[in-house]
């Protein structure tokens, strides 16, 4: 059976600098797969390439059996690949609800859109309570909730989350991770880039450690969580 997402020998460059140097991995339907690694390892570049914001210089990306090599970003969203980007990129002057509706810009099923807006409010009750407020008035953690809710509005087959806990308080980080666990329990397929390696690996079915554009180590989330080299390098343990 074909994996939902297959990445094979992917290479991405900024000019003459190769940021991703031939990585391969796959994501099966219903899985949470995480990419961990230090800043500059190529994790965000990988997600931006998968969503069509960057073009690879080599390799293959197949989603649901279809090559994404020449597919523009908006069509990739239509195919079911949604990206909640690093830094959130919400629209601060628009209301929370209008931000959510923008996530459904390719849809025309009004009843379904209303159901999914309610689903976002069920996942993140604070957004429902403040739905008519400008999104820029939200805290960083609440903006992250909004970015995730907006990505879910496209009804993705695969949700890509880039650094969802970055810059958040420990309590808010726990809330975001609990929401990712809830989405997993609902059957959502997730590709997670996250600097909090312990939280990411605890949630993940499979993980890949990226170092300077390469995948240095792969395994189940639990195997990597207990791997001595990973514990020393990414979990702050001696």
* Packed helices 170-185 and 110-123: angle between N→C axes, nearest 10 degrees: 130
pLDDT tens-place string over residues 105-128: 988 899 999 999 999 999 999 999
- pLDDT mean over 35-53: 94
As given in the structure block, the two tokens for residue 111 are 């009843």
pLDDT for 2: 77
DSSP label at residue 157: S
Q: What is the mean pLDDT of the chain?
A: 92
pLDDT band at 89 (very low <50, low <70, confident <90, very high): confident
pLDDT for 237: 61
Query: Which parts of the chain are beta strand (E)?
Result: 5-14, 17-27, 32-36, 58-63, 66-67, 81-84, 158-162, 189-193, 206-211, 214-220
Q: Name, in order, each residue with C-beta under 8 angstroms of 173's C-beta and a sequence gap of 6 or more.
A: 141, 165, 196, 199
- pLDDT mean over 208-215: 96
What is the architecture of the domain spanning 5-234? Answer: 3-Layer(aba) Sandwich (3.40)
Tokens 């409010």 -> residue: 121
pLDDT tens-place string over residues 2-33: 799 999 999 999 999 999 999 999 999 999 99
Chain centroid offset of residue 81 CA: 10
DSSP label at residue 41: S
As given in the structure block, the two tokens for residue 162 are 């880039």
3-state helix, strand, coil in the chain (%, to 5): 40, 25, 35
Distance CA 234, CA 209 (A): 10
């Amino acid at each position: 059976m074909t994996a939902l997402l297959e990445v094979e020998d992917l290479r991405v460059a900024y000019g003459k600098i190769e940021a991703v140097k031939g990585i391969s991995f796959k994501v099966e339907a219903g899985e949470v797969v995480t990419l961990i690694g230090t800043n500059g390892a190529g994790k965000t570049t990988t997600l931006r390439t998968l969503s069509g914001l960057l073009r690879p210089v080599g390799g293959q990306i197949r989603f649901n059996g279809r090559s994404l090599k020449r597919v523009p970003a908006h069509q990739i969203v239509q195919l079911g690949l949604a990206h909640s980007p690093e830094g959130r990129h919400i629209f601060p002057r628009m209301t929370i609800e209008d931000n959510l509706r923008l996530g459904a810009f390719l849809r025309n099923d009004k009843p379904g859109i209303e159901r999914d807006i309610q689903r976002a409010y069920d996942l993140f009750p604070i957004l429902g309570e403040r739905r008519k407020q400008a999104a820029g008035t939200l805290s960083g953690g609440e903006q992250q909730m909004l970015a995730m809710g907006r990505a879910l509005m496209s009804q993705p087959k695969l949700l890509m989350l880039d650094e969802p806990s970055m810059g958040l308080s420990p309590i808010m980080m726990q809330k975001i991770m609990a929401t990712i666990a809830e989405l997993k329990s609902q059957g959502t397929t997730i590709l997670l880039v996250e600097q909090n390696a312990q939280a990411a690996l605890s949630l993940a079915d499979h993980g890949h450690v990226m170092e300077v554009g390469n995948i240095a180590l792969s395994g189940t989330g639990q195997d990597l969580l207990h791997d001595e080299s990973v514990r020393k390098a990414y979990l702050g343990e001696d």
